[in-house]
Amino acid sequence: MKYLKMKSLRTLCLAATLGATGIATFLPVQSAVAQVRTLPDFTDLVEQVGPSVVNIRTMEKVAARSQQGSPNEEEMLEFFRRFGLPIPNIPKQAPRQNRPQQQEEEQPRGVGSGFILSSDGLIMTNAHVVDGADEVLVTLTDKREFKAKIIGADKRTDVAVVKIEATGLPAVKVGDVNRLKVGEWVMAIGSPFGLENTVTAGIVSAKQRDTGDYLPFIQTDVAINPGNSGGPLINMRGEVVGINSQIYSRSGGFMGISFSIPMDEAVRVSDQLRSSGRVSRGRIGVQIDQVSKDVAESIGLGKPIGALVRGVEAGSPAEKAGVEAGDIITKFDGKTIDKSSDLPRMVGSTKPGTRSTVTVFRRGASKDLSVVIAEIEADKPLVKTQGREDKPKGSAAGQAFGLAVSELTEAQRKEASLKGGVKVEAAVEAAARAGLREGDIILALANTEVASVKEFDAAIAKLDKNKPLNVLFRRGEWTQYAVIRVAR
């Protein structure tokens, strides 16, 4: 007697029994009713949101007959602008002697997408779509074309708002990004490669994707290509949850990874652009880094959370509040900082002049500090000066950890703006493996400050060389941790 089993995923499974007569008799083996899920139908969403999506063309004024490029030149330039690559210098025709001055004419500069924020003509798009444009042209789905005025653009978040003179326009509905789930279906409408009103769809691949200082992007597998920039990312409720902004690509085309600006962040930026034409962001003046697992465990923090302060800007709000290099900022205004990139977003979204509280983990204990938020400014260049000093006699008390140190001279302390510390004269074996090197300034050992070689020797004497040693040290302008493990 033979049994033939036929298996089918999530369906009724039957077995056929072949008897002596050769007649097959089917017997039920398993009975199950599978939940059937159909693919989503986007037709209603396209009819609902499609009229709110616009095509954006930008123009720039150039000298007549001065261009040497081909028709594909603008697409190439858009590619470089889109991916943040240096824009190549395109040779232009040199003026001849005694040639009459050429008149200016408008040439196409780029193409992108946008969507209507309000019925009176406010439109949201990407900052890189309108950056450098002398004229912005907006085309609606009913083929009406308008010249748009740039209300404001913010390059840090890549958000821009433009205005056309029209009324009764179909505005989009803004969705709640917090309700968006990974795996959820989403749709995009835009003008990839200049092809207007193109619809693509996919799922949310990830949220809170770190690709920038101020934005936790939404990652999707929706097909986004050059020209889609500035178009809406739409959920299944017909709400806009993001602005399509970036793609990951090796060829310039779609490769399954696209990034969108979360709509809550975009709305916050657009509100400031509409009210003042610019975005005001807070700053406290610290240089930060991630907290590694090794550092967190060795200093008693436990989990690798927060932002490690590597440096504090002189005269900054952080310095005035008492924040020190080596501190780990674990909370801002009571909100936990899970990773270092959370801090600039929290501080940046705080209005300058606001008094906030930062919680720092220092020497094994947490401490709340009050800081007055300042307005962000251009980054200051780091200036590192080096003085020539006679090398002081070193100490070898840290030999078990691969360290030899010496006193800092008064001039070295003053130059580095330090109250204490010891200079590394040699870092070998365990210390070298931990990343320390000659010239570093050690500020603390195992959460104990060391202001001199004597204090360094005393701290070393108390240590168990079989346990990891956390070292807070200064290198150049910045402060960081190292964890020394002595090989057994």
Return all residues near 250 (Cβ < 8 A) that are at least 6 apart: none
Side by side, the strands of the sheet bearing 2-6 are 2-6, 13-18, 24-30
Q: Is 158 a catalytic residue?
A: yes
Catalytic residue chosen out of the listed positions 154, 158, 327, 342: 158
Structure tokens belonging to residue 78: 């858009």
Please name the residues in contact with 252: beta carbons below 8 A apart, sequence gap of 6 or more: 79, 226
Active-site residue, selected from the candidate residues 52, 113, 128, 340: 128
For the record, the structure tokens of 446 come out as 């195992």
And the tokens for 22? 């050769």
Q: How far apart are CA 437 and CA 459, in angstroms?
A: 20
DSSP one-letter string for 440-471: -EEEEETTEE--SHHHHHHHHHT--TTS-EEE
How far is it, in rounded angstroms, from Cα 284 to Cα 281? 10
Tell whether residue 221 is among the known ligand binding residues.
Answer: no
176 annotated as a binding-site residue: no
Q: What is the largest CA-CA distance in the chain?
A: 108
Tokens describing residue 59: 């123009």
Q: Which of 113, 191, 205, 229 is catalytic?
A: 229
Annotated binding residue 229: yes
Catalytic residue check, 66 = no
Q: Tokens representing 406? A: 């010496």
Taking the CA atoms of residue 267, residue 269, residue 273 and residue 276 in that order, the dihedral angle to the nearest 10 degrees is 120
Q: Which residue type sits at 375?
A: E
Q: Is 158 annotated as a binding residue?
A: yes
- Amino acid identity, position 264: D
Active site annotation includes 395: no
Tell me: is residue 227 an annotated ligand-binding position: yes
Catalytic residue numbers? 128, 158, 229
**Binding site for substrate: what residues are annotated?**
128, 158, 227-229
**Binding site: what residues are annotated?**
128, 158, 227-229
